[in-house]
Amino acid sequence: MANHLVYADAKGIHSHGAVRVDYYAERIAKGGINTDPNVTFEKTGPSSGIVQGDNGMGHYVALKGLDNAINLCKESGIAVVGVRKVSHTGTMAYYVQKAADENLIALSMCQSDPMVVPYGGAGNYFGTNPIGFAFPRENDVPVVFDMATTVQAWGKVLDARSKNRSIPDTWAVDAQGNPTTDPYKVSGLLPIAGPKGYGLMMMVDILSGMMLGLPFGKHVSSMYDDLSKGRDLGHLYILIDPTKFTDLTSFKQNVETMIDELHEMQPADGFDQVSIPSERSQKKYMKYMENGTPIEKNIYEYLISDTVHFDKYGGMNAFAEPEQ
């Protein structure tokens, strides 16, 4: 878990880094996360399987699921592995990069609690339902793509709160359904690209929730509701061994050719270069891992303290606000 949170902050994904620690600590203290889970794996077909998380810490259980998916993919060429009954699993980039480090193409996704206004709707139904994608390249770190199916992840709103900053009015709406720049007045997040993001978040919920026999849509439990109970969340991996379809060397060479061609394109006004996904975050990672990773002072002070909150998040809605 610590490795995951440091990775997120060092990549500049502060929404999924140390800002989450006080919530995790409170949930663990209240018994809502099993600190000694019996994590099991059942192979359900030549290329499929299910990991039962036993309500363990999400990062730990999801990594166990990834390990099994990697092994299965190397055996059969493709793997589809579901992870059942976990808590919050953090950033998708962490998992898909590990799979791509093994020369596999990786797709990962998970469901989250309902906090998004569907296209054409006035209430919340789906979660931010993120998707991660990664593939190996030659003599460099994998290319990683990680996105929420909303304009921004909820963690970005949390990050804005921790820094006392406003948010763009394209991220979310308030209780009246109007665009808001106040991170404390967010009542619903908006899907990316309207109906396209809406369709993607439905796909994620079906594959990582409904297909695993778990609650879906508005039935997914809130992260902040009852911290003494488990959450029954789902997480899904789809891994592909490219050597089952092409030569690995030529595949990686083609990846490098594509990246070179993108870099050589004339940049638009205001840009120095056409970047590839994760390129800027990787530069941050290299810098921060060498010189230290910046986090907000209030988060740092919490981390070095002995404090465990028992009344900060419990009984809250999906937006960490008191239930109405």
DSSP annotation string for 250-262: HHHHHHHHHHHHH
The alpha-helical segments, DSSP class H, found in the chain are 2-10, 21-29, 58-76, 92-100, 154-162, 195-208, 248-264, 279-291, 297-303
What would the mean pLDDT of 121-128 be, rounded to a whole number? Answer: 91
Identify the three-state secondary structure at position 182: coil
Q: What is the chain's mean pLDDT, rounded?
A: 93
pLDDT at residue 319 is higher than 80: no
- The domain limits of the chain are 2-303
- Return the pLDDT at 81: 98
Q: What fold is seen in the domain 2-303? A: Ribosomal Protein S8; Chain: A, domain 1 (3.30.1370)
- Which of 6-10, 97-101, 144-148, 307-311 has the least mean pLDDT? 307-311
What pLDDT score does 116 carry? 95
Q: Is 88 an annotated catalytic residue?
A: yes
> Residue 269's pLDDT is what?
95
Catalytic residue among 59, 88, 219, 235: 88
Q: Cβ-count burial of 275 within 10 angstroms (0-12 exposed, 13-18 middle, 19+ buried)?
A: middle
For residues 284, 286, 292 and 298, what is the CA-based torsion angle, rounded to 10 degrees? 30
Task: Indicate if the alpha-carbon torsion angle 245, 91, 207, 236 is positive or negative.
Answer: positive
Per the listing, tokens 């009246």 go with 176
Higher pLDDT, 153 or 78: 78
∠282-288-289 over CA atoms, to 5°?
90
Neighbours of 55 (CB within 10 A): 22
Specify the pTM. Answer: 0.92
With the C-alpha atoms ordered 292, 89, 173, 206, is the resulting torsion angle positive or negative? positive
Q: What is the pLDDT of residue 324?
A: 59
Residues 242-250 have a mean pLDDT of 97
Query: What value does the mean pLDDT take over residues 158-167?
Result: 89
pLDDT digits 0-9 by tens, 4-37: 999 999 999 988 999 999 999 999 999 999 999 9
3-class state of residue 135 by DSSP: strand
In tens, the pLDDT along 272-302 reads 999 999 999 999 999 999 999 998 899 999 9
User: Is the model's pLDDT at 321 over the cut of 80?
Assistant: no
Q: What is the pLDDT of residue 59?
A: 97
